Structure 1
Amino acid sequence: MLETKYDAIIIGGGACGLMCAVQAGYLGKKTLILEKNAQVGAKILISGGGRCNYTNYYTTAQNFISENEHFCKSALSQWTVDDTISFFETYGITGQEKTLGQLFPTSNKAKDIVEVFKQICDDFGQDIYLNSHVLAVEKLDELFKITFERNGKTETLYSFKVVMASGGLPIAKMGATDFSLKIAKQFGLQVVQTAPALVPLTITGKDADWFAHLSGNSMPAVVSNDEISFEENILFTHWGLSGPAILQISSYWRPGQSIVIDLLPHQNIQELIEQERSANGKKLLANYLALFYTRKFIDALSDILPTHKNLASLTKDDFTAINEFIHHFKVKPAGDKGYDKAEVMRGGVDTNELSSKTLEAKKVPGLYFGGECVDVTGWLGGYNFQWAWASGFVIANSV
């Protein structure tokens, strides 16, 4: 029998991998994290602008995109938002709600989240090998053989259980790879096509200069397509559109499709103008729109709407144009900014290949997949962390 001293070897020291090691420690299990970077939790540290939106009060299965919309329910019920909040509070991290249920540490420091995991791993004697690049995962009867490179040397370890928690493709400079997907395919598991998600959208062609001119302008909006809508801010950029509402809709957008933006949610621009012109018909449309938008945005509208007219002289056709632009601004993005600017990856290991209760591969006993590499993609706002904590927890209970 080949020697193994670990109950499980965890490949990837991100949110899922760290939670898995910690929860395994609570159960008296010995694990090893193999982390490619020089520190664990690299993506945690940069999340939320270094503040880490670590969960969301309102998490439900409806906040996730997957070919099987029910798959995440089991993990999310085994490790709830309340569990996440209690876990961190136990270690001195209290949360503060920002917007739409988003919870951040009151310290506003993502490193505090990572320090919790490092401390607990140390307390339980869970091993962490940094700068460890896994080269291969092989199955030898009941054991897995893991070959990795560390400090310029190739090493080999054996374990009955292997946890693939190496994340997805976004942000290559943080060490992101498709290694978990390669391992899944190596063992004959299906992978749902991947793409950047929660990512800015680009505009090219004849409209590119118009959008670029508005770079830096942010405003509340409702952004929608045939499937879903989101109400948050949008941000005009040099390359197109960003901001929370755009990042959200990007996960549901496909090349060739359009999105529709309501630039004045919950109000009717025609009714507002008609009310104003009954009292002040001489006011220019440009001056009236200044109540809602920046001067730069109104200047840009002069190419599209009759901003030079006074309100009293607006015609039926003018109102049609105003309504259409303000409430039904149709945009056809050319593409997205890719994995380097994406928050997460859409797609991943097909959920049909995994047990929803344990996240173990049905075809390969002892092989687990958790976190971002699975075809479960959360909305912006702490949902992806909640999935990572939950998947790490359920795997720990099984290994």
Structure 2
Amino acid sequence: MHHSTPTPFPSRPSPHRPSAEPASQTFDAIILGAGAAGLFCAAQAGKAGLRILLIDHARKLAEKIRISGGGRSNFTNRDLDPRAPQRHYLSQNAHFCRSALSRFTPQDFVALVQAHGIGFHEKHKGQLFCDHSSNDLIDMLDRLCQQQRVQRWQHCRIERVDFQPAADNAPEHPPAHGHYQIHTERGLATAPRLVVATGGLSIPKIGASDLGYRIARQFGIGLIEQRPGLVPLTFDAPTWHPFKSLAGISLPARIATGVGKNATHFDEDLLFTHRGLSGPGILQISSYWQPGQPLCIDLLPGLDLTASLQQARQHSRKLLANELAQWLPARLAQTWTQQSPAWQQPIDQTADKALRQLADSLQQWHITPSGTEGYAKAEVTLGGVDTRALSSQSMECRQQPGLFFIGEVLDVTGWLGGYNFQWAWASAHACAQALAQPLIPATVADSTKRRNA
């Protein structure tokens, strides 16, 4: 058990605080972070009759929901298979997410959206978006919290988190339980349960912070190394110089990385940028790409380009670049053929070997990124709180009673396309169900479950 140990929170005095800290306000649970996971957990726990306090340091509510999906919020994905959810998620503990995702499915969240009259549509590969605006989703979550009388301290800085263990002789508390004390610029709040829904490090300009990781460290909970996920990839200047002029061109591609059992590929659009590559296919592969690994890109998937060029040569005298433009954007075809003198002549004068080399260069384009655009452009954070320290049923820490982690702060990262929001809803729902149960430490609950199995 971990006794109260201050974290390295900012200690500057608040201009809003009176000279003496007011008496503590007590709640059944306190949730840190009013994003997707925090809002949904608060609403669900409030519905169970609990007195909930939701605290967030940002000025605006759920800004990450607001900007997601081009302002229309890709809020879930119909294609998620709850029987094998790990297919769509990355984690050091691959099966951890299965329990929560199978108990609160995309269909469950869709039913909630429909009940609130929010129009939505499927855009691509099971991805569901709001018809009008992501604000509809934020308003729904806010309304659900208000209906359940959830208190919200918004734009409120958290200064310190402490844990006060219960006295051994206190009969009103089960063994090993105590109270969490949240010191904020609005005063002190206490509760026997604390839910950390603070998200990751991605998009710092809207308020991302490392608060959740600091709390995990404070209570001795392991962390998996964090890095940007679903992020554009960049290349060093000499490598990218031939392709810099292609910025803005987008086309379908097959993008692969890794070898053997670690090989992964995605068939999605690719976008050329001034600094490298982006687009859905690149964002997807970025979560699997490891520094130093090359990408293998097929810019014309499903086409036998060598055979197509040889056939075109029989009846065409066009420049090779012009002939190639029937399959590729003209600017891309023109730039690509500039890489070799053998590709800069009429197709009927181009040798078989040159045609094969051109086809290979387009369909097995090996190029090694130098890095990523970082957290500023990353949609999610890979890594985070080690899920092996938590109960997959409740999201509660096994060794720290009453402490829960949900959403992106955990080492569970979904694919592009609504999977990360579905993890937020599902983990929040699992946590809220646990909050509604009597105060039993996760370790006790797990051992009871094993005895009853």
TM-score class normalised by the smaller sequence: over 0.9
Aligned residues: 392
Does structure 2 retain, via aligned residues, the 8 Å contact 1:85–1:95? Answer: no
5+ long unaligned stretches in structure 1: none
Output the CA distance in 2 between the equivalents of 1:346 and 1:377.
6
Does structure 1 retain, via aligned residues, the 8 Å contact 2:193–2:403? Answer: yes
Shift of 1:303: 2.5
Aligned counterpart, 2:8: none
Does structure 1 retain, via aligned residues, the 8 Å contact 2:338–2:344? Answer: no
Supply the AA of the counterpart residue of 2:35. G
Question: Equivalences for 1:38-77 in 2 at 5 Å?
Answer: 38-60=59-81, 61=85, 62-77=87-102
Supply the AA of the counterpart residue of 2:224. V
Shift of 1:4: 5.4
Aligned counterpart, 1:127: 151
Output the CA distance in 2 between the equivalents of 1:149 and 1:339.
28
TM-score by length of 1: 0.96
Instruction: State the identity %.
Output: 40
Aligned counterpart, 1:114: 138
Query: Is the aligned partner of 1:210 residue 2:242?
Result: yes
Shift of 1:3: 6.3
Shift of 1:134: 1.3
Output the CA distance in 1 between the equivalents of 2:25 and 2:276.
53
Supply the AA of the counterpart residue of 1:332. T
Displacement over 3 Å in runs of 4+: 2-5
Aligned counterpart, 2:439: none
Does structure 2 retain, via aligned residues, the 8 Å contact 1:55–1:386? Answer: yes
Output the CA distance in 2 between the equivalents of 1:232 and 1:369.
32
Does structure 2 retain, via aligned residues, the 8 Å contact 1:53–1:103? Answer: yes
Output the CA distance in 1 between the equivalents of 2:292 and 2:91.
21
Shift of 1:146: 0.6
Aligned counterpart, 1:284: 319
Q: Secondary structure at the match of 1:192?
A: strand
Supply the AA of the counterpart residue of 2:148. F
Q: Secondary structure at the match of 2:157?
A: strand
Output the CA distance in 2 between the equivalents of 1:91 and 1:281.
60
Aligned counterpart, 2:291: 255
Larger radius of gyration: 2
Output the CA distance in 2 between the equivalents of 1:210 and 1:355.
51
Q: Secondary structure at the match of 2:253?
A: strand
Output the CA distance in 2 between the equivalents of 1:355 and 1:148.
29
Q: 1:272 aligns with which of 304, 308, 331?
A: 308
Supply the AA of the counterpart residue of 2:155. N
Does structure 1 retain, via aligned residues, the 8 Å contact 2:72–2:131? Answer: no
Q: Secondary structure at the match of 1:54?
A: strand
Shift of 1:327: 0.7
Query: Is the aligned partner of 1:172 residue 2:210?
Result: no
Question: Equivalences for 1:170-319 in 2 at 5 Å?
Answer: 170-226=202-258, 227-278=263-314, 280-305=315-340, 306-319=342-355
Supply the AA of the counterpart residue of 1:211. F
Output the CA distance in 1 between the equivalents of 2:364 and 2:155.
50
Q: 2:35 aligns with which of 11, 14, 21?
A: 14
Q: Secondary structure at the match of 1:111?
A: helix
Query: Is the aligned partner of 1:85 residue 2:110?
Result: yes
- For residues 15-50 of structure 1, what are the alpha-carbon distances to aligned partners after superposition, in whole Å with 9 as ceiling and x for unaligned? 000010111122111211101112221100010111
| CA spacing shift, 1:3–1:206, aligned 2, 3 Å | closer
Question: Equivalences for 1:331-346 in 2 at 5 Å?
Answer: 331-346=367-382
5+ long unaligned stretches in structure 2: 1-22, 166-177, 436-453
Output the CA distance in 2 between the equivalents of 1:230 and 1:111.
31
